Structure 1
Amino acid sequence: MKKIMTMMLVLAFNLTGYVYAQDQPDPKDHEKIKALEIAFISRKLNLTSDEAQRFWPVYNEYKRDVNQVMLTQRNNPNKDVVDDEQRILDVRKKYRDRFVGVIGQPRMNKFFQAEREFRGVLLNQLKNRPNKPMLQRQKRN
């Protein structure tokens, strides 16, 4: 089972280069990345089916709140960076007890580490892909 998950993740991460190589990503691409993130976190947390049924609804609410904060940040670039980071931290604290109630303290910590690790892996894939239009656009600005 672990070999299958690992191979699925490797294949999926190779697809992220294709996904982000396009100027205007298709909404399906966001769904693919979300599926990769779910697989990555599931593997890291080793969730039972009962835990998964209780964890993912809480995770979806958490992600919605984080995305809302990030959207607000993007729409107002003149805001204080430290205040923005505090808002994200406040959302994490808000959901901490709910995550602990579902998966326990040690795996709640693993969850936040896995989430950070996934972003790092995804960013690394983006940096190392053959076509780098995002990086080229940044250099022009």
Structure 2
Amino acid sequence: MKLLLKYLLFTLMIFAGYEVFSQPPASFRSTSAPSKKLNLIREGYIETQIKLSNDEKAKFWPVYREYKEEVNSIRKAKLQNRLNKSKDQIQKDLEYDQQLVDAKKHYTKEFLKILPPDKVNRVFQSEREFTEELIKQLGERGTPDK
């Protein structure tokens, strides 16, 4: 009986220890560090693709970061809307899509004040290329070797 009690206590301690050492809840984890690193890599990629002068860099990056912040907030709101399962979800989704288009139009005009049209086109093209490459690498990383 004493031995059974010891095994039971030991098993309980193992499960309790598992809970202590498991990952913290998402609310405690910081997601800003990986996204900051990713943003720096993205900016480096775009910069090499469009070959900015020092003057262009100084003017372009603050506007670009503002653009990315606005787009990300719209996308986050759209993602939150997808959790809403009401009739209005479809209409709201279309409104968020329109907001994304409007933001891109607005910032395209802002970018054109700083960069020539070919470089502005290259900014958006470089963003797409970067995202495609990122998805490709994440897909390759996620597939187990056989």
The answer, yes or no, to whether TM exceeds 0.5 is yes
- Greater RCO structure (CA 8 Å; 6+ sep): 1
After superposition, residues 29-68 of structure 1 pair within 5 angstroms as: 29-68=34-73
After superposition, residues 1-141 of structure 1 pair within 5 angstroms as: 26-77=31-82, 78=84, 79-80=89-90, 81-130=93-142
Find the aligned partners of 2:137 and 2:98 in 1 and give their Cα distance: 28
Which protein is bigger by CA-based radius of gyration?
2
Find the aligned partners of 1:26 and 1:124 in 2 and give their Cα distance: 22
Q: Which runs of 5+ in 2 are unaligned?
A: 1-25
- Equivalent position SS for 1:128: helix
How many residues align? The count is 110
Q: Which runs of 5+ in 1 are unaligned?
A: 1-22, 133-141
Q: Please report the TM-score for the alignment, with normalisation by the length of structure 1.
A: 0.70
Q: What amino acid does structure 2 have at the position aligned with 1:39?
A: G
1:62-111 C-alpha deviation (Å, 9 max, x unpaired): 01110110111011105334443322111100111110111111111111
- Equivalent position SS for 2:114: helix
How big is the shift at 1:26? 4.6
Q: Please report the TM-score for the alignment, with normalisation by the length of structure 2.
A: 0.68
- Equivalent position SS for 1:47: coil
Runs of 4+ in 1 over 6 A off after TM superposition: none
Find the aligned partners of 1:106 and 1:124 in 2 and give their Cα distance: 26
Q: What amino acid does structure 1 have at the position aligned with 2:132?
A: G
